[in-house]
Chain A
Amino acid sequence: GEDVEQSLFLSVREGDSSVINCTYTDSSSTYLYWYKQEPGAGLQLLTYIFSNMDMKQDQRLTVLLNKKDKHLSLRIADTQTGDSAIYFCAESFFRDDKIIFGKGTRLHILP
């Protein structure tokens, strides 16, 4: 079945690294995403990774994929106050397909 699980809350001190974890159940997922949602706003696509990749890095963001364990993580280096948001892990199976979202992890930045 289709299911994406992630922890609901994470608190991190400003300047530290944030690691947000996610697990998914369907091994046939082709695309795995991280979206960011700020209060009252829509979703912003941060990055995505193909299921045949292990890692993708983009500036302060690093995505790691462990396909065997169906585990995806997002690492944000040097966390800033502007990173405070809800981060959604998501998956889809082919192009032009619906996206299946987790419930989101609320990232809180401590001063």
Chain B
Amino acid sequence: NAGVMQNPRHLVRRRGQEARLRCSPMKGHSHVYWYRQLPEEGLKFMVYLQKENIIDESGMPKERFSAEFPKEGPSILRIQQVVRGDSAAYFCASSPSGTNEQYFGPGTRLTVT
């Protein structure tokens, strides 16, 4: 059973461009969580999704950030008009329904130049 997959692993964007980060949950997992890790910091929750539904987006910045988890395909975290402060590692985690155990992907390291 493959683990949580994230791609790309590294992404470089210039200021003002768009960044798209993808996450494929583990097989059988219907819940996806996105977290952001700034340098020398812990992970901060961004958003929690189930298929076609955003359940909790209390950690998402109000502007430029959006997330989706369509019926088919991976979950996407989209950052429009990136700024230097968006440079971070973005981690996706997945879990089956009704558990507290989240399994993390390897992360996407976004660098904004």
Which residues of A pack against B, CB within 8 Å?
4, 30-31, 35, 41-45, 48, 88, 92, 94-104
Which residues of B pack against A, CB within 8 Å?
4, 31, 33, 35, 40-45, 48, 55-56, 58-59, 91, 93, 95, 97-107
Q: Is the CB of A98 within 8 A of B105?
A: no
Q: Is the CB of A98 within 8 A of B48?
A: yes
Write the nearest CB–CB distance from A78 to chain B, whole angstroms: 26
Q: Is the CB of A88 within 8 A of B42?
A: yes
Residue of A at shortest CB range from B105?
Answer: A42
Chain A residues, CB < 8 A from B41: 103
Residue of A at shortest CB range from B107?
Answer: A42
Write the nearest CB–CB distance from B75 to chain A, whole angstroms: 15
Assembled-state Cα–Cα distance A92/B93 (Å) = 14
Assembled-state Cα–Cα distance A92/B31 (Å) = 16
Assembled-state Cα–Cα distance A21/B61 (Å) = 31
Since A42-B107, A100-B45 are in contact, a sample of 15 more A-B pairs with Cβ atoms closer than 8 Å, ordered by chain A residue number, is A4-B42, A41-B107, A42-B106, A43-B91, A43-B104, A45-B103, A45-B104, A48-B100, A88-B43, A92-B100, A98-B48, A99-B35, A99-B43, A99-B93, A103-B40
Q: Is the CB of B42 within 8 A of A96?
A: no
Q: Is the CB of A42 within 8 A of B104?
A: yes
Q: Assuming the A-B contacts A42-B104, A42-B106, A95-B98, are A101 and B48 also in contact, with contact meaning beta carbons closer than 8 angstroms in the complex?
A: no
